[in-house]
Amino acid sequence: MEVLHRVVGPVATNVYVLADPRTREAIAIDTAIPSLDWISDELHERGWKLRLIVSTHCHWDHIGDNAAVSAETGADIAVHAADRAGLEHPEPLFAPFEIPPSVPAVELAEGGRIVFGSIVLDVLHTPGHTPGSVCLVAVDDGFVLSGDTLFRGGWGRVDLPGGDPDALVESLVRLRGLDDRLGVAPGHGASTTIGEERPWLDLVARERRLLL
């Protein structure tokens, strides 16, 4: 698998493009505004075909270019059912520009798997930041796309509509159970590993609460 990464938008969202160079199939993760031009240029340069746009959750800073990228590439949009309404009827809280609605064609669910060529991603439903937040585990390639569930040294906020601190605790405890060597590619900020985050994840598991 080949992985491309770019930081875009007013809140520095991490946008990822994953591809199998052999089949030339690709998927995009969290197509924030403005990612359309970058994604289009990368696809054209490499001769890749975008097959899927995955939203790890429904917040505006992760979905803003969904509709534009889908229209440009013909790729379907995927999200967990619990966050579907957030794509169809965006709530652009604090957004500095309009967030176009997008229509998901693929429903992500716990235990599901995304497969395109050598791209294999297991879907984990990890609510708390939003009801439909998901993480995507690339077991064969040794990393997890954690959206805004897990950051280096922290987690996504729970004080926005749909946030649930108790659910996020359980999601973090679940991620704590992954292999220490697994890399973490978050929705914002620097990459990390499960092992690097384990000390505070152990505290969350023991206390069963988010740490201040």
Residue-wise pLDDT for 182-195, tens only, equals 999 999 999 999 99
Residue 212: inside a domain: no
Q: What percentage of the chain carries pLDDT values higher than 90?
A: 97
Q: What is the pLDDT of residue 92?
A: 86
Q: pLDDT per residue over 21-41, tens digit each?
A: 999 999 999 999 999 999 999
The CATH number of residue 31's host domain is 3.60.15.10
What is the layout of strands, in order, in the sheet containing 49-54? 2-8, 13-20, 25-29, 49-54, 76-80, 106-108
Which segment of 50-54, 92-96, 150-154, 196-200 scores lowest on mean pLDDT?
A: 92-96
30 falls within a domain? yes
32 part of a folded domain: yes
> 79 pLDDT band (50/70/90 cuts)?
very high
Instruction: Please indicate, yes or no, if residue 161 is contained in any of the structural domains.
Output: yes
Residue span of the structural domain in which 183 resides: 2-207
Let me know if residue 69 belongs to a domain: yes
Distance, in Å, from the CA atom of 124 to the CA atom of 170, rounded to the nearest integer, reads 12
pLDDT per residue over 118-170, tens digit each? 999 999 999 999 999 999 999 899 999 999 999 999 999 999 999 999 999 99
pLDDT the model gives residue 98: 96
User: Is the pLDDT score of 212 beyond 80?
Assistant: no
35 belongs to a structural domain: yes
DSSP 205: H
Within a domain: 46: yes
CA dihedral 28, 182, 56, 197 (to 10 degrees): -140
d(CA 172, CA 3): 25
> Per the domain annotation, does 130 fall within a domain?
yes
Average pLDDT over residues 67-80: 98
Q: How many domains does the chain have?
A: 1
At 199, the pLDDT band (50, 70, 90 cuts) reads very high
